Chain A
Amino acid sequence: MAATSGATFAATRTESPKASSERSAALILAALALPGILPAAALAQSAPDERVIALRYYDYRDWQPGVDRMSVKSPSLYAFVPLSDSLTVEGSLVYDSVSGASPLYHDAVSGASGRGIGDYRSAADAKVTKYFGGSSLAVGAAYSHEQDYISRAASVEWRTWSDDRNRTYAIGFGAAKDRINAVEGVNAPVLDQPRETYDYLLGITQVLDAASVVESSVTWSDGRGYFSDPYKLHDARPNHRRIFAWLTHYNRYFAAPGATLQLGYRYLDDSFGDRSHMLEASWVQALPYGLTLTPTIRYLTQAAAHFYRDPPFPQGFVPGGLYTADERLSAFGAVTLGLRVAKELPHRLTIDVAFNAYRQRGDWRLGGDGSPGLAKLSARWIEFGLAKRF
């Protein structure tokens, strides 16, 4: 459940150019402070009355020099339905079809990495939100199933807001019970291994002025159980993982170009040692004919886990000790460049398409002291979206 997940769902990132009639209507509605009009994050303060159905399709692929790795095709469905003027329900279904192979150790790609070939993931989640006078209570559940992994999760989130609706506080709690069954793991069969995770969230959203809003949240995750990767040789990780994350977003609207600047920063401290900083910026530019163009850039810099060992494999491995050669736990920097085009169509339909390119390099880590000896990882994903509001 998102900290600021709004009961309102903007079915699109599209904003038509500022037709004067549209702006006038928005201003009038705002002046009346009608339910559902305020920004979702700031203020999902009363139940929206708009139904939404959205379809989204992801085509994902990643590779290293000369070697194709994973390929994933992922159709998904989202629905949001107000049941009354104070009760809403929303949910989504996702199906991932996975082919290819993940690294056996470091970046040594091998089909023997097991379930990386021909796997799938199906996931579903639902959330019910009840609105009271000055607060809301949301209860959610999620289920995810892979051939070797089952996850069940539940969450509850309480939100309350100030009388002028310019500030919202959020408190959340989540729990997940996962089960790992990796029959074909290269280490040894991993059968019926549990993992339990508890998440705690505190968040605040504040309208700063008539054109800018900020949200900030801290989450604490405490997980116990099986965290090793059964498909990577000698992989042995701690059975207790604590993650602290501080996430802040800032949005500002600029009237002259008719655009919104969206900034995000996340600090993440993982007890495994892979501490990271993430910065993200988007520019949402409204264009004529109901078009919206959104370029995005994201940068992440990450430290290595304290039990990660550099190549050559299995350098640093001590039987019975903690060890991983998983390059995701190495020290690196990563850059994503994305571009989204959205268009509003008649009958409250919206379509969008996006292209994202992702690169990971050891020497892109802030300070340049990333893990050496790993092949460069690249990925790209293409998104298609269709949404209908009514």
Chain B
Amino acid sequence: MRCSRSIEALLTALAVIALAGCTLQPPKPWEKGDLARASMRFDADPLETKLTQHIYQSKEGAGGGGTVGGGGCGCN
């Protein structure tokens, strides 16, 4: 892996995040009813997320992202 490619991706990620920060319209507390819905959560079911990621990790070259310390597996 070329280091420059990772740096390029990191800068792109930061640019997108910064852009989102510039264009947002943060709601007031009384406007957050829809945000509280279960379907708006990113990890509503940690067990389902973990098991599904495990399947993809065993079928594809590399998996994961967004997590740390999950441990490895044989997955042969």
Are A149's CB and B73's CB within 8 A? Answer: yes
- Chain A residues lying within 8 Å of B50, measured Cβ to Cβ, are 92, 94
B35-76 Cβ-contact flags toward A at 8 Å (1 or 0): 111111111111111111001101111111111111111101
Q: How far is the CA of A207 from the CA of B20 in the complex (A)?
A: 10
Q: How far is the CA of A255 from the CA of B40 in the complex (A)?
A: 13
Known A15-B37, A31-B30, A174-B70: A5·B13 in contact at CB below 8 Å: no
User: Who on chain A is nearest to B27 by CB?
Assistant: A210
Considering the complex, which residues of chain A in the window 174-231 have a beta carbon less than 8 Å from any beta carbon of chain B?
174-176, 178, 180, 195, 197, 199-201, 203-211, 213-221, 229-231
Assess whether A51 is interfacial by the CB under 8 Å rule. Answer: no
- Chain B residues lying within 8 Å of A148, measured Cβ to Cβ, are 74
A333-371 Cβ-contact flags toward B at 8 Å (1 or 0): 010000000000000000000001010100000000000
Are A383's CB and B36's CB within 8 A? Answer: no
Q: How far is the CA of A286 from the CA of B34 in the complex (A)?
A: 13
Are B38's CB and A246's CB within 8 A? Answer: no
Known A219-B64, A266-B65: A166·B39 in contact at CB below 8 Å: no
Interface size on B, residues (CB 8 A): 60
Q: Of B13, B21, B39, B59, which is within 8 A of A206 by CB? A: B21
- Chain B residues lying within 8 Å of A356, measured Cβ to Cβ, are 52
Assess whether A76 is interfacial by the CB under 8 Å rule. Answer: yes
Known A10-B44, A262-B39, A334-B59: A209·B74 in contact at CB below 8 Å: no
Would you give the shortest CB distance from A108 to chain B, in whole angstroms? 14
Are A39's CB and B36's CB within 8 A? Answer: yes
Known A2-B46, A8-B41, A209-B26: A204·B17 in contact at CB below 8 Å: yes
Would you give the shortest CB distance from A56 to chain B, in whole angstroms? 5
User: Who on chain B is nearest to A208 by CB?
Assistant: B24
A147-169 Cβ-contact flags toward B at 8 Å (1 or 0): 01101111111000000111100
Q: Of A10, A272, A286, which is within 8 A of B41 by CB? A: A10
Q: How far is the CA of A275 from the CA of B2 in the complex (A)?
A: 11
- Chain B residues lying within 8 Å of A180, measured Cβ to Cβ, are 74
Q: How far is the CA of A346 from the CA of B50 in the complex (A)?
A: 27
Interface size on A, residues (CB 8 A): 142
- Chain B residues lying within 8 Å of A201, measured Cβ to Cβ, are 66-68
Would you give the shortest CB distance from A209 to chain B, in whole angstroms? 4
Assess whether A251 is interfacial by the CB under 8 Å rule. Answer: yes
- Chain B residues lying within 8 Å of A116, measured Cβ to Cβ, are 76
User: Who on chain B is nearest to A220 by CB?
Assistant: B6
Are B13's CB and A152's CB within 8 A? Answer: no
Are A251's CB and B42's CB within 8 A? Answer: yes
Are A39's CB and B42's CB within 8 A? Answer: yes
Are A149's CB and B71's CB within 8 A? Answer: no
Known A40-B42, A54-B47, A56-B48: A210·B29 in contact at CB below 8 Å: no
Would you give the shortest CB distance from B62 to chain A, in whole angstroms? 4
29 A-B pairs in the complex with CB atoms less than 8 angstroms apart: A1-B70, A4-B42, A8-B41, A9-B46, A39-B40, A56-B48, A94-B51, A121-B74, A123-B71, A148-B74, A155-B69, A157-B68, A165-B29, A199-B69, A201-B67, A210-B32, A218-B13, A220-B6, A242-B1, A243-B64, A244-B1, A251-B41, A251-B42, A253-B39, A255-B34, A260-B39, A260-B40, A272-B61, A286-B39
- Beyond A6-B43, A174-B68, A218-B13, 16 additional contacts (C-beta under 8 Å) are A9-B44, A30-B30, A37-B36, A42-B35, A92-B50, A142-B69, A208-B26, A209-B25, A219-B64, A219-B66, A246-B12, A253-B34, A269-B1, A276-B62, A292-B39, A383-B51
